[in-house]
């Protein structure tokens, strides 16, 4: 069975179980992370979006304008509304899935106060180049969205950055804020809950299979209800899991990168278009469905399930396709041709750090069979 979200192998089960019961070694964890963020203060938050909200509050970005990618998830919409931030959406480049620098120059306004850049799928966005392009606008805060890019050294070049732990680590939930050392932040405690328990089971393939088959109705509703409005710290269990699996994930990330490049080569041979590679940690192994069968993307995803290959489509519904966003900010989709195209064609294939070339070959064989029978 092949899934996109992080999986815990059965032989690591004991480690995972211990993470549920022991107390947190925050000092040990900080020591592991200091090499990645030598000049930043790190704050663990309930979710990545909590860290983003802290950034808005600390930098007083309420009632201002913010530049951000049009191709990003719509969890930002309620936050923009809550803080009355006017979004200025930017179209992306289809090779990198990053915002284009020409777009920034075209759309930036005198009252833009911040720009959100995203290291989409794990490919680092060049923040230093952006800073030099924006030399005349030193008032503009650069916020790095590192939700997909732990382990690649991102998060140090922007003014402030945030991470989402559970996308790369089996942490159930969790975000991290990397901010200046003088920020004073104290967050209320949060606790392991029922949703976390379900997420824990979802890290083991028999349960993951069960949830994929039967949970598609309830799963999308549950997190939305539980991902709370209040700002909160990260619960002990998720912090332990992150800490306990950090080194193993770090060590095996080279294997992931090597496999990703092999995977991309095989996909290209089938007509898929793949993301640039340099520095990419491949949080998601993402590609665009071949043009000649692009209207079959959803059928391909559906049919692959029969072969035990569970792909995702992040983001088939990016923020600018959200109906509320379209109404509220008068979006003209003609201004975002690449975002619209990516949303129609994107597929994220399963890739785990522990896979071997044989696993990738099996997935590719399944893709070939599905395409041949379209």
Q: Which is nearer to ligand PLP, 122 or 290 (CB)?
A: 122
User: Exactly one of 4, 141, 147, 172 binds ligand PLP (CB under 6 A); which one?
Assistant: 147
Binding-site residue total for ligand PLP (CB under 6 A)?
12
C-alpha closest to that of 108 among 66, 77, 55: 66
Asked whether 174 and 49 are in contact (CB, 8 A), the reply is no
Which string of x and - marks every residue 170-189 that binds ligand PLP (by CB under 6 A)?
-----x--------------
47 binds ligand PLP (CB under 6 A): yes
Distance of CA 30 to the CA centre of its chain: 22
Q: For the chain, what's the residue count?
A: 374
Q: Which is nearer to ligand PLP, 76 or 364 (CB)?
A: 76
User: Exactly one of 115, 118, 234, 343 binds ligand PLP (CB under 6 A); which one?
Assistant: 118
Alpha carbon distance 139, 152 (integer Å): 27
C-alpha closest to that of 174 among 208, 144, 199: 199
Asked whether 334 and 373 are in contact (CB, 8 A), the reply is no
- Which of helix, strand or coil describes residue 145? strand
72 binds ligand PLP (CB under 6 A): yes
Q: What are the structure tokens assigned to 240, written together?
A: 């332990």
Q: Which helix (H) or strand (E) holds 346?
A: strand 346-349
Nearest residue to ligand PLP, scored by beta-carbon proximity: 48
CB of 166 to ligand PLP, least distance (A): 7
C-alpha closest to that of 330 among 28, 63, 87: 87
CB of 368 to ligand PLP, least distance (A): 29
| Candidate segments 47-55, 57-65, 105-113, 299-307, binder of ligand PLP by CB under 6 A | 47-55
Alpha carbon distance 234, 226 (integer Å): 14
366 binds ligand PLP (CB under 6 A): no
C-alpha closest to that of 287 among 311, 310, 320: 311
164 binds ligand PLP (CB under 6 A): yes
Q: Which helix (H) or strand (E) holds 179?
A: strand 175-179
282: left (phi over 0), alpha (psi -120 to 50) or beta: left
20 binds ligand PLP (CB under 6 A): no
Asked whether 146 and 181 are in contact (CB, 8 A), the reply is no
161 binds ligand PLP (CB under 6 A): no
Q: Which is nearer to ligand PLP, 5 or 296 (CB)?
A: 5
User: Exactly one of 42, 59, 75, 293 binds ligand PLP (CB under 6 A); which one?
Assistant: 75
Q: Which is nearer to ligand PLP, 123 or 360 (CB)?
A: 123
User: Exactly one of 145, 152, 196, 244 binds ligand PLP (CB under 6 A); which one?
Assistant: 145
User: Exactly one of 48, 124, 170, 318 binds ligand PLP (CB under 6 A); which one?
Assistant: 48
Q: Which is nearer to ligand PLP, 169 or 366 (CB)?
A: 169
CB of 60 to ligand PLP, least distance (A): 21
| Candidate segments 142-150, 151-159, 210-218, 294-302, binder of ligand PLP by CB under 6 A | 142-150
Alpha carbon distance 148, 155 (integer Å): 11
Which residues lie near ligand PLP (CB under 6 A)? 47-49, 72-73, 75, 118, 145, 147-148, 164, 175
């Amino acid at each position: 069975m092949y899934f996109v979200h992080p999986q815990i192998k059965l032989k690591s089960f004991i480690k995972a179980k211990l993470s549920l019961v022991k107390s947190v070694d925050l000092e040990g964890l900080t020591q592991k992370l200091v090499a990645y963020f030598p000049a930043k203060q790190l704050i663990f938050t309930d979710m990545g979006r909590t860290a983003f909200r802290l950034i808005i509050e600390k930098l007083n970005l309420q009632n201002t304008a913010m530049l951000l990618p049009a191709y990003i998830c719509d969890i930002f919409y309620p936050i923009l509304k809550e803080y009355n931030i006017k979004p200025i959406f930017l179209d992306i480049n289809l090779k990198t899935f990053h915002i284009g620098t020409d777009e920034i120059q075209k759309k930036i306004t005198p009252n833009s106060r911040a720009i959100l850049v995203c290291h989409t799928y794990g490919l680092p966005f060049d923040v230093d180049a952006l800073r030099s392009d924006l030399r005349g606008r030193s008032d503009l805060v650069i916020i790095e969205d590192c939700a997909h890019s732990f382990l690649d050294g991102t998060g140090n070049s922007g003014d402030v950055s945030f991470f989402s732990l559970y996308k790369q680590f089996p942490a159930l939930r969790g975000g991290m804020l990397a901010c200046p050392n003088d920020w004073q932040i104290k967050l209320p405690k949060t606790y392991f809950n029922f949703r976390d328990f379900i997420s824990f089971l979802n890290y083991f393939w028999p349960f993951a299979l069960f949830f994929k088959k039967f949970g598609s109705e309830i799963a999308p509703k549950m997190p939305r209800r539980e991902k709370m409005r209040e700002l909160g710290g990260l619960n002990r269990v998720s912090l332990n899991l992150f800490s306990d699996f950090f080194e193993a994930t770090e060590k095996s990330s080279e294997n992931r990168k090597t496999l990703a490049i092999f995977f991309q080569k095989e996909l290209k041979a089938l007509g898929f278009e793949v993301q640039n590679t340099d520095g990419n940690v491949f949080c998601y192994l993402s590609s665009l469905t071949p043009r000649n069968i692009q209207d079959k993307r959803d059928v391909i995803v559906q049919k692959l399930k029969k072969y035990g290959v569970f792909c995702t489509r992040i983001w088939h519904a990016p923020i600018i396709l959200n109906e509320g966003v379209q109404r509220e900010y008068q979006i003209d989709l003609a201004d975002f041709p690449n975002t619209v195209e990516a949303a129609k064609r994107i597929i994220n294939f399963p890739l785990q750090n522990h896979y071997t070339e044989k696993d990738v070959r099996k997935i590719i064989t399944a893709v070939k069979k599905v395409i041949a029978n379209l």
